[in-house]
Structures are given as C-alpha cells and as structure tokens.
Amino acid sequence: MNMSPLQLARYQYEPKLPGMLRNGISEICVKNGSATESVADQEKIQALFPNTYGKNEITFEKGQNTSEAKKQVVGVILSGGQAPGGHNVVCGLYDALKATDKENVLYGFKGGPSGLLDDDYLIFDDEYINQFRNTGGFDIIGSGRTKLETEEQFAIVAETCKKHGVTALVIIGGDDSNTNAAVLAEYFAAHNTGVQVIGCPKTIDGDLKNEDIECSFGFDTATKTYSEIIGNIQRDANSAKKYWHFIKVMGRSASHVALECALETQPNICLIGEEVAAKKMSLAQIADYIADSVANRAAKGWNFGVAIIPEGIVEFVPEFSVLIAEINELLAGEKTDAFNALPTWQEKYAFIEAGLTKESMAVFAILPENIQQQLFLERDPHGNVQVSLIESEKLFSALVKDNLAARKAAGTYKGKFSPLHHFLGYEGRCAFPSNFDADYCYSLGYNAFMLIQYGYTGYLSKVSNLSKPAEEWVAGGMPITKMMNIERRNGQDKPVIRKALVELEGAPFKFFAEHRAQWATETCFVYPGAIQYFGPTEVCDLTTRTLALEKA
C-alpha cells in the first residue's frame, strides 16, 4: 500500500492526554459533582428517562482506581457525517481498554447504527487499528445515518449485544446520534440488559456545545481546512483584483463554521444566520448589505472581495421560511403530481402564482429563475422542499448583481462586479486531524473507556479546559439528559439534545461585529495557511479563534 510521507509520519504521532489520564489506569479515581437536570422541560424529560435522569456529573482525578475488575467487551459505532479525529476516538478507546486488561475486546460495528441491527462487525487488533492512528475519515468501520428510535430496533441491538457478550456500547456522533444514545441507554437500563451506553460529541458544524461541551470534535480541523482555502482564494482575489468570490461553507442549522472562518481570515462579508433571524432581515436587505461593501470597495478602485455564506442561511430569513412553508402546502399530497404534469416552466410558474400569498409571491419573484426551479426539485421523505439543495452562494451573488444594476442606473455605482462561486463542504470532513483534534479525540476515546470501567451509562465523554495545554485538560462525564429538551419533530414531541446556535452576545460574535465594518471596506485579509503538525506549540497546537475568545 502506497503512503505519503505525512501519513507515515502521523502514524508515529503520540496524542497528548489530560494530566489525570496519564497517571496509568490503576491511578484514576472518580470525583462526584452535583446532580443534573435537563436544560428545559425537566418533568417531561425525567418522565421519559426515569432510570438515567438526574445523575451526577463526574471528573477523573489521580487516586486509587476503585472500579470493578471484570472483562469488558465493548462495541463502537461511528454515526452521521464524517468529522476529522473519529479514528483517534476509536484508537483511544482501544488503548485504554487493552491497558486495563489485555483480554478486553473491542468490536467495531460497520456502517453506523445499521451495523448493530445487521450484526455486521469486525474485532479490532493492533495490526488493524495501527493503520488508522491520527488519520482523517471514518473508513476504519464506516458510518451511517440510520436512527435507533424504535422499541423493535432496541430489542435487535440488545440481542446483538447479548450474542457477543457486549458489556458496553460507545456511540460517536452528533446531537441526533447522542440523543439516540440516551434513549438506548434508558431502554437497556429499564430492561436490565447490563449493557452501558457512552456517547462522544462529534460534528464539524460546532452546534453540539454548551457549558460542559466546549467544542465538538472535528470543528477545529474542518474550519482550519476551510480557512486555508478561503485564505488562498483571498490571496488570489488580492492578486487578480477583478473577482468577487462567494464562498458557501458547511453549517445547515447554525453559523459556527462561517463565524470561525471569518475570525481566521477576515473576509469582506460574512453572513451569520442567527443575526439574520434576530433582525428579521429580508433577502433584499441582505443583498443591499453586501452590495454596499461591493460599491464602497469599487469607489476605492477595488472591484474584488470575498463573502462567506453559511449553508443554511436562507432558513434563517423569516420571509423565506414562510415561502418554503407555503410551497410545502402548495405541493402537499396529490398536488405534486398535478404540478409535475405541467409541461412548461411558464405553466408551472402560473400554478405557483395562483397558490402563493401576495407576500410570498413577491419574495419568489425576486429569486433568480434557477433558484426558483431548485425550490421545486426533489422533495425530502416528508414531501418538503430540500432547502439544503439551494445554491445560496449563487442566490446572493445574483441578488447583489441586480442591486448593483439598479445603483448603476441611478448613477450611484460605477464599478465592475464579476462573481465566482465556491462550496466548501466535503473538503473539510476527512482532513488529517490537527494536533488539537488528534489529542482531543484520543482523550475522548480513552475517557469513554474509563466511564465504562466505572459503570456509567447514558453519559457523554467530556474533556474540558480545552483552551489550555492538554496537560491541564479535565476529563470526566456528564449525563446526556442534561443537554435535552422537548422539540416538535414530524408532528410529535420528542426529547432531543438542544442545538447550540451562535450567541449574538457571545465574545466570538462581538469581536466579529466590532471589526466587520472595517473588513467590509478595507482589504484586511488574513492568510492562515495549511494546518501545521510539526514545529512550535504556538503554531501547531492552536485552538480555534472561537474557543480562544470564549475562554479569554
């Protein structure tokens, strides 16, 4: 098998652990914290999780290990979209498991939760796992998006665990996957299966965070990867001086990725969905805001710039959300067939015009035709518009172009506007993890086994104090139910982990807000360059700008 020099070198990297986890398994004890309650809907969440609700937060300290000595057979799955560092979670879990007892066994269930349902697995050994240390991707066992939600599924998983003598499951995933982990842990406890469930916080979107989870793994590497590319584009823009680059970045439900990339690169424009929603900004207002930057820079002779657009931005625009809701109603049930049967776009447009309210039709009418048509492409399994298919970077550049044309006709703008478009998505999900993510993920996996060894279930592996050197990190665990509230999903009330949105009163956004007016008009680009793995600590072990500002 051919390998790059970097790949070979990364195999040799030894991830750093929090100080208390470096003492050796025999010298790790538990310190109990306070009892917990859910972030909201306490009575409802407690009623749904009678066996796992309200447990104490815990931290690990140096001291005599008092856990029960027994053989552990642990299963692990990767769930949802890829995030850099997932391999190191598995490696940390494996190393802790083997350091405790060489007879312990780690099963990797393939393809995400479906591996548990289909009993599709491999058993890890040194030779196999050593091929994946400090590397990106989820190809060690693959991932999947099957949700574990039903009693029938839980019974199948319980039977799979019983068949192999599995004593604990580790579920590595985002908010939905860890919600499923909490529900599965409750089922196992209620049915006295003896199987523990531990979660690990993963998502490059950065929306699985709170006072306990300072950062989900993968966010650091993905944003550094995107920021390198954005910096390269900015350098090109500043060299050619003739293009405006509209760059869409990952982040369907929150704008953490866009904000972090803006903090790292200082583009002319970065839209933050949470601010758009709070200010109830219209599409026209957003276009006017971007066009102001274009016009002001053109007045200086700079007909170039960079705008960062979060993937889910249109869902934060109130008038657009209303439009989507009306379209979903317009094409409900058999109406879709009637619409699809119309032979021309002109006839379909007339159908739409007759079915929308005057206000929503006004919004629809200002959209470029290709975006209008995208709204009527494939539906999701519930028959709704797939908003994620909308090319929002092209939408806003088209709206800005129309805005500038009106300014030019009025004699208030004389520049040139040549837009180019980019979408940074998959490029960041499987990158070689940064030293931070390699260390953090290894610690999460190692820590997950300590939670298993001490008998915890329904807990999330927690490593905090992350803005400090790894020696000062604090390892422990928190009940997953602490992060939960009740939300309406598909017409039903469901217990789910609350997504963390960008806080407009938080230090990262405030720093951005204080500087963006200057960035919009001047050329203040920063060029982060590639992730560095070898060299000075201040270069190689940097945390994100978001985390640094939050913990300043």
Share of the chain above pLDDT 70, in %: 98
With bands split at pLDDT 50, 70 and 90, how would you rate the model's confidence at 523? very high
In whole angstroms, give the CA distance from residue 269 to residue 419: 14
Across 263-331, where does the E strand assignment appear? 269-270, 305-310
- What is the pLDDT of the chain when averaged over all its residues? 95
pLDDT of residue 404: 98
CA neighbor of 445 nearest in space, from 217, 258, 125 = 217
The number of C-alpha atoms within 13 Å of 144 and in the hemisphere containing its C-beta is 17
CA neighbor of 463 nearest in space, from 37, 60, 30 = 60
The pair of three-digit structure tokens given for residue 325, joined into one six-digit string: 């809701």
Q: What is the dihedral of CA 289, 291, 294, 298, to 10 degrees?
A: -120
With beta carbons less than 8 A apart as the criterion, state whether 77 and 115 touch.
Answer: yes
In whole angstroms, give the CA distance from residue 415 to residue 429: 38
The number of C-alpha atoms within 13 Å of 330 and in the hemisphere containing its C-beta is 23
0.75 exceeded by pTM: yes
- What's the order of all strands across the beta sheet hosting 244-249? 269-270, 305-310, 244-249, 419-424
Alpha helices (H) along 119-218: 126-129, 151-164, 175-190
With bands split at pLDDT 50, 70 and 90, how would you rate the model's confidence at 380? low
Chain centroid to CA 169 = 22
In whole angstroms, give the CA distance from residue 224 to residue 264: 8
Interval 407-446: pLDDT, tens: 999 999 999 999 999 999 999 999 999 999 999 999 999 9
- In this structure, the strands spanning 474-479 and 459-464 are antiparallel
380 an active-site residue? no
Least confident span in 6-10, 34-38, 335-339: 335-339
Interval 436-455: pLDDT, tens: 999 999 999 999 999 999 99
Q: Would the pLDDT of 141 be above 70?
A: yes
With bands split at pLDDT 50, 70 and 90, how would you rate the model's confidence at 386? confident
Looking at residues 299-324, what average pLDDT do you find?
95
In whole angstroms, give the CA distance from residue 82 to residue 116: 19
Least confident span in 119-128, 268-277, 384-393, 515-524: 384-393
Share of the chain above pLDDT 90, in %: 87
Catalytic residue among 205, 220, 437, 439: 205
Q: Would the pLDDT of 24 be above 90?
A: no
In angstroms, what CA-CA distances link 518 with 261, 298, 397? 17, 15, 21
Q: Would the pLDDT of 382 be above 70?
A: no
Q: Would the pLDDT of 344 be above 90?
A: yes
Ordered domains of the chain (ranges, CATH): 49-218+433-480 (3.40.50.450), 222-311+391-426+501-552 (3.40.50.460), 315-388 (1.10.10.480)
In 10 A of CB 9, how many CB atoms? 13
Listing DSSP states for 439-458 in one string gives: HHHHHHHHHHHHHHHTT--S
